[in-house]
Amino acid sequence: MTRMLAIAAGGALGAVLRYWTSTAVHARLGMAFPYGTLLVNVLGSLLMGFLYIWLLERVTEGTALRAFLRADPDVIMIGEMRDKETAEAGVEASLTGHLVFSTLHTNSAAETVTRLLDLGIDPVSFSDAFLGVMAQRLVRTLCDKCKQPYTPDEEELTLIRRYYGEEQFSELKVNPAKLTLQKAVGCPECNNTGYRGRTGIHELLVSSHAMKDLIYHKATAGEIQKLSITEGMRTLMQDGIAKMLKGQTDLAQIRKVAIT
């Protein structure tokens, strides 16, 4: 079966910009398509088995999506779900057996669900179609050449434990008395900033019967977040702290992006 991936986007410039916001979704598609094919696809899309669609001004993403569903693609990627029509078309496509990926700008995975419901899509169809949401933020990575180990003081330790959640902190299997973290220093390699590159922190909210039930009843983001954590999700903050304990970043960076 020929695999086809379609991107709906508003105008050529919008499409190019959205390649960047959609990178994470393409990375998820790595199962079916080798990661790294994204950028060559700008010019060589058809050769690589992808079909990209650029839209004229007066055609919306939802209209285009309905039109190219006739080509019966296996995987559909919608650049961004910004309006009810696009979101509904995505849900419909999903319910008719297509694997649909999209992006949304929200603060957390749980808020993504409520944002889509707020757009006005039918909670019954949406709860049926929903597979999961991955939220992603980028934090600056500590420079490998100059970062320095230090022992956090009591105040910082308390903060870390509180951010991670007292009852879950033990799962990190760290001995607070022997904890060593890394801090930014600065060297010529990193232009004296102490940081070099970016590290992704993520939270993955996965569908379940209980989750579908919450969506069906239009639950709040707080209720969705609470259930997903009891079902095993680790939040952006928790993933950030786990990466900080590995020496990849520091608490200041995580606080910038993970406190909402």
Structure tokens at 20: 């960047």
Q: Which is nearer to Zn ion, 117 or 146 (CB)?
A: 146
Q: Which of 146, 211, 215, 233 binds Zn ion (CB under 5 A)?
A: 146
Amino acid sitting at position 234: R
CB of 139 to Zn ion, least distance (A): 16
Give the Cα separation of 20 and 13 in Å (integer): 12
Q: Which of 74, 118, 171, 189 binds Zn ion (CB under 5 A)?
A: 189
Q: Which is nearer to Zn ion, 50 or 195 (CB)?
A: 195
Q: Which of 78, 190, 205, 219 binds Zn ion (CB under 5 A)?
A: 190
Within 12-41, the residues that bind Zn ion by CB under 5 A are none
Q: Which is nearer to Zn ion, 189 or 231 (CB)?
A: 189
Which is it for strands 99-102 and 51-55: parallel, antiparallel or unpaired?
A: unpaired
Tell me if 145 contacts Zn ion by CB under 5 A: yes
What is the gyration radius of the CA atoms in the chain, in angstroms?
21
Stretch that binds Zn ion, among 117-125, 145-153, 216-224, 234-242 (CB under 5 A): 145-153
Within 221-260, the residues that bind Zn ion by CB under 5 A are none
Tell me if 159 contacts Zn ion by CB under 5 A: no
Structure tokens at 126: 């949406």
Stretch that binds Zn ion, among 61-69, 119-127, 179-187, 245-253 (CB under 5 A): 179-187
Beta bridge partners of 199: 139
Tell me if 144 contacts Zn ion by CB under 5 A: no
What's the order of all strands across the beta sheet hosting 51-55? Answer: 51-55, 5-10, 75-78, 99-102
CB of 189 to Zn ion, least distance (A): 4
Stretch that binds Zn ion, among 86-94, 140-148, 162-170, 244-252 (CB under 5 A): 140-148
CB of 143 to Zn ion, least distance (A): 3
- Helices 12-21/37-44 angle, 10° precision: 170
Q: Which is nearer to Zn ion, 187 or 242 (CB)?
A: 187
HSE-up of 239 (CA within 13 Å, CB side)? 21
Give the Cα separation of 249 and 252 in Å (integer): 9
Stretch that binds Zn ion, among 172-180, 187-195, 222-230, 237-245 (CB under 5 A): 187-195
Tell me if 187 contacts Zn ion by CB under 5 A: yes
Stretch that binds Zn ion, among 18-26, 61-69, 102-110, 136-144 (CB under 5 A): 136-144
Give the Cα separation of 114 and 127 in Å (integer): 11
DSSP H helices in 2-153: 12-21, 23-28, 37-44, 61-68, 84-95, 109-118, 123-129
Question: Virtual CA dihedral for 59, 64, 65, 66, nearest 10 degrees?
Answer: 110
Tell me if 197 contacts Zn ion by CB under 5 A: no
Q: If 0-12 CB within 10 Å is exposed, 13-18 middle and 19+ buried, where does residue 147 land?
A: buried
Q: Which residues bind Zn ion (CB under 5 A)?
A: 143, 145-146, 187, 189-190
